[in-house]
Amino acid sequence: MFYLIALGSNQRHQRFGLPRDVLAAAIERLAAHDLSIAKISTVITSRPIGPSQRSYANAVALIETTLYPPHLLDRLKHIEAEFGRRRGQAWSRRVLDLDILLWSGGAFDGDAPALTIPHPLMRERSFVLRPAAQIAGDWRDPLTGRTIAQLDARNRRPKKRQEKAPKPLDHETKRP
């Protein structure tokens, strides 16, 4: 089975160094945990979402494994813990974040542990779609049917500003 895994870091690690170096070390750790690395995107920098003030280093890896999604998630959480990740405040700074974006088996929804594939926020996150499009642009989102490249292009489009309703004319607001 193939999986697209998002990697992110915005905190220096005492052993591995800067976030970009943390991602490189994480790729090595994935391979050391019997996850075959098929492709790796370039590392990009993105602004944080939520309370964190530090920019993120982000990348996506295409991996091959025989693990079923919940077992892979357990493996990824174990690797995060090896890098010092602690569960806590959502979207706070972190040494390493690993998320399953897609897998070759289509959609998945489980609750032991809680896991939804495709990742529920994947379609709106350019820091995930841009690197994913580099290495798996033709993969399709099983829910929308769109390719990663199409989702990335849609996400890059300028957002339309909501138009305000025109103000009523004076004679329309005055009562006789």
Whole-number Å distance between alpha carbons of 59 and 124: 16
94 is known as an active-site residue: yes
DSSP helix/strand/coil, 168:
coil
**CB-count burial class (<10 Å; 0-12, 13-18, 19+) for 72:** buried
Residue from 21, 34, 75, 94 carrying the catalytic annotation: 94
Which one from 29, 99, 130, 141 is the annotated catalytic residue? 99
* Residue 155, phi then psi, degrees to nearest 5: -70, -30
86 catalytically annotated: no
Residue 123 falls in the annotated catalytic set? no
Respond yes or no: is residue 21 known to be catalytic.
Answer: no
**Among 97, 123, 141, 152, which one carries the catalytic annotation?**
97
Sign of torsion, CA 31 42 122 80? positive
Marked catalytic residue, from 29, 85, 125, 130: 85
Cα(111)–Cα(51) distance, integer angstroms: 27
Catalytic residues, which ones?
A: 85, 94, 97, 99
